């Protein structure tokens, strides 16, 4: 098997595993706080092993970097809480579709962080997103029950967009895996006092799901994604990444019995079209 084909398989597997995150948000019976805590705890443990095996730079180089990692970790904690809360109160499809708007949000936030300008295509992408969101949340003539889920999903997308832009300053000096480890570790510390105070009852099956979620769907998925990015072109990656929503929705349909309504499909087409255009324009 050649390296390009292997990398493409790695990419599809990683995107499939990432798409499965939404399903775990429904399967795990605990609160979103504990889901995030368990996920980042197991992910951080697995990423330490990966960094040791790959001999990655582990120690922060400056005190400023430590402060930045703390900020990024707090953002990650909020991002994943918002994402899983969105899924808990609505559906996997709503959570994934609303989160996929992060590509468009990143486009509009870039001029704030870097010397870039907005153009007509950015406006088109925003309009596509607004139309898609409007179709979903106003289904049935008024604000649907999915409106709250969409709101939290959009907050997850916004916080993730900030994470992407802030990470740009550090990807040249640290590996993506190292950055992810520190963010997971800080996110774990953020929610540690919360879960200790809540004292939730966690079933054995929940611990199993959290382990799979953290090690397989986070650490392994991200490691495969980074490995594939060294071989696969940015354009191919942008197209395959869009399949995350499709994979997640299909898994939710087969494993959870979640059905897609017509307005959700139509709204999703608008949102994913905008996200795809954003990824293509970036690459």
Buried b (16+ CB within 10 A) or exposed e, 140-159: eeeebebbbbbbbbbbbbbb
What is the dihedral sign for C-alpha 214, 217, 222, 224? positive
Reported confidence tier of residue 159, pLDDT bands at 50, 70, 90? very high
Given a cut of 70, whether residue 279 has pLDDT beyond it is no
Which residue is associated with the tokens 């993506």? 176
- Which pTM was predicted? 0.86
Question: pLDDT over 70 for what percent of the chain?
Answer: 89
The pLDDT value given to residue 141: 47
Model pLDDT, residue 180: 87
Model pLDDT, residue 76: 92
Q: Label residue 45 by pLDDT band (50, 70, 90).
A: very high
pLDDT value at position 278? 66
Q: Are 43 and 198 in contact (CB under 8 A)?
A: no
CB 125 within 8 A of CB 277: yes
pLDDT value at 237 more than 80: no
Q: How confident is the model at residue 222 (pLDDT cuts 50, 70, 90)?
A: confident
Is the pLDDT reported for residue 1 higher than 50?
no
Burial 53-71 (b: 16+ CB within 10 A, else e): eeebeeebeeeebeebbbe
Q: What is the pLDDT of residues 105-122, one digit of tens each?
A: 877 787 777 776 767 776
- The pLDDT of residue 63 is 87
Q: What is the pLDDT of residue 74?
A: 95
CA dist., res. 60 & res. 83, Å (int): 28
């Amino acid at each position: 098997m050649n390296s390009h084909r292997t990398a493409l398989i790695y990419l599809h597997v990683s995107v499939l595993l990432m798409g499965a995150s939404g399903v775990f948000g429904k399967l795990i019976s605990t609160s979103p706080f504990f889901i995030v805590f368990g996920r980042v705890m197991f992910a951080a443990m697995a990423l330490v092993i990966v960094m040791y095996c790959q001999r990655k730079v582990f120690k922060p180089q400056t005190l400023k970097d430590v402060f930045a990692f703390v900020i990024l970790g707090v953002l990650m904690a909020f991002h994943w809480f918002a994402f899983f809360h969105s899924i808990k109160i609505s559906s996997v499809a709503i959570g994934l579709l609303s989160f996929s708007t992060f590509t468009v949000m990143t486009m509009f936030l870039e001029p704030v962080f870097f010397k870039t300008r907005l153009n007509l295509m950015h406006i088109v992408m925003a309009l596509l997103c607004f139309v898609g969101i409007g179709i979903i949340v106003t289904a049935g003539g008024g604000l649907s029950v999915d409106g709250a889920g969409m709101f939290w999903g959009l907050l997850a997308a916004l916080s993730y967009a900030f994470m992407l832009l802030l990470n740009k300053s550090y990807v040249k000096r640290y590996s993506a895996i190292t950055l992810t480890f520190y963010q997971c570790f800080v996110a774990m510390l953020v929610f540690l006092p919360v879960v200790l105070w809540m004292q939730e009852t966690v079933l054995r099956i929940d611990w199993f799901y959290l382990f799979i979620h953290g090690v397989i769907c986070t650490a392994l998925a991200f490691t495969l994604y980074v490995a594939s990015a060294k071989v696969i072109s940015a354009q191919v990656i942008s197209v395959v990444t869009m399949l995350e929503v499709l994979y997640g929705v299909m898994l939710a349909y087969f494993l959870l019995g979640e059905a897609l309504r017509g307005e959700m499909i139509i709204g999703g087409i608008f949102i994913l079209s905008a996200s795809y255009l954003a990824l293509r324009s970036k690459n």
